[in-house]
Amino acid sequence: MQEQSIYVKWAWKVLKEYFYKGRLPEIEKDFPEDLKKEAGCFVTLHKKDGSLRGCIGTITPTKGTLAEEIRDNAIASALRDPRFPAVKKEELEELVINVDVLEKPEETTIDELDPQEYGVIVEKGWRKGVLLPDLEGVDTVKKQLSIVLRKAGISPEEDYKVYKFKVKRYH
């Protein structure tokens, strides 16, 4: 089994302190530099069978540090993903956590998309949808766009902006 990244270890610490001690861990002054930088991130919870259990994130930084982004997104993934009931303490040991750290999105065209390499954001006015890259079963641009447009409530016939972004996925 491969060693967990610092990002995943931190997400686990957040969830365990929340569920077992009823509090959030402090952002430590001596955190590694990687956790002190600013970046958007997604925290994804899967069951050990691979099925999705929660996924919440930020496209661009909303906090002062990546540690804060991961902390807030880990809690939101466990408790506030509207697609699932809140995670219960008894489920924690059956979960797998991934943390995706996002690079800055850039406006692009559909021709420049690649669902294995780039995540995609679509935007029309206040409607916005986001889909991470390299997701199981999402192997064509057509499928990627279909999913993200549906998430955003945007019709494929509408004019909309497209952005692409890369992520580093940590286990």
What pLDDT does 2 receive?
Answer: 61
Domains in the chain: boundaries: 6-102, 106-166
d(CA 16, CA 42): 18
CATH number of the domain at 106-166, please? Answer: 3.30.1490.150
> DSSP labels for the chain?
-PPPPHHHHHHHHHHHIIIIISSPPP--TT--HHHHS---EEEEEEETTS-EEEEEE-SS--SSSHHHHHHHHHHHHHH--TTSPPPPGGGGGGEEEEEEEEPPPEEE-GGG--TTT-EEEEEETTEEEEE-SS-TT--SHHHHHHHHHHHHT--TTS--EEEEE-EEEE-
Question: Tokens for 100?
Answer: 């995706």
The burial class, CB within 10 Å (0-12 / 13-18 / 19+), for 169 is: middle
Contact 75, 56 (CB under 8 A): no
Band of the pLDDT at 27, cuts 50, 70, 90?
A: confident
Q: Is there a common fold for 6-102 and 106-166? A: no
* Residue 157 identity (one-letter amino acid): E
The 10s digit of each residue's pLDDT in 112-170 is 999 999 999 999 999 999 999 999 999 999 999 999 999 999 999 999 999 999 999 99
| pTM of the complete model beyond 0.85 | yes
The 10s digit of each residue's pLDDT in 45-60 is 999 999 999 999 999 9
What pLDDT does 29 receive?
Answer: 80
CATH number of the domain at 6-102, please? Answer: 3.30.700.20
